Structure 1
Amino acid sequence: MDDKYRKKLVETVRTLENTLDELELNITNLAMAGEFSDFDAKCKVGEIMTFGIKDFRNADDQNLKICIELFDKIYQSYSSIMNVNAIKRKEIEGEKDDYPF
């Protein structure tokens, strides 16, 4: 695999990561505005709550289900690309193996 191709592949993985982060945030916001709005209303202003996809997997909202299914498909593709191409975390974060010292 040539260097230019690998760089584009790593860039694609970064894009997939950003997409997953954004989709997870949107799923959380959608859930809290809809099916989980009663719970959201009970949270105090300034209270910090942490949610993830797993918290909404049993939701009844069809739109949440579709978004979670999409999240899972993107995550599966992201993981496959990482594994098949042995892409390491430091490549995604832009670190280099060859230090000048």
Structure 2
Amino acid sequence: MRYRERYCGQRHVVGCSVDYCRTEYLREHFSAALNTIKGGVDLRGCFVWTLMDNFEWARGYSKSFGLVLLYYNNDLKRIPKTSFEYYRDSIKTRRSTLHLNGN
């Protein structure tokens, strides 16, 4: 099932934006990427689209795709989403694992 088909939106809680479905999407894809590396694939990078919410030509500002929520009507206040926190923690964990293994 593609991400677009099962995207369940996000909830705004005081001081954070909860987007568990996107976090799970990232978790599944990073797991698959690690499995391909273990299988011998020379995978050197993985990118997330997009860091911050932005203007989408097809939907304007109505959809929130970024890892960081951007409030356009509130002096462009930025709030990291739960997917941002997961991505940040994944990078830290992977770096420390690579460092410990001498890679």
The two structures have a TM-score, normalised by structure 1, of 0.34
More helix by share: 1
More strand by share: 2
Larger Rg over CA atoms? 1
The two structures have a TM-score, normalised by structure 2, of 0.34
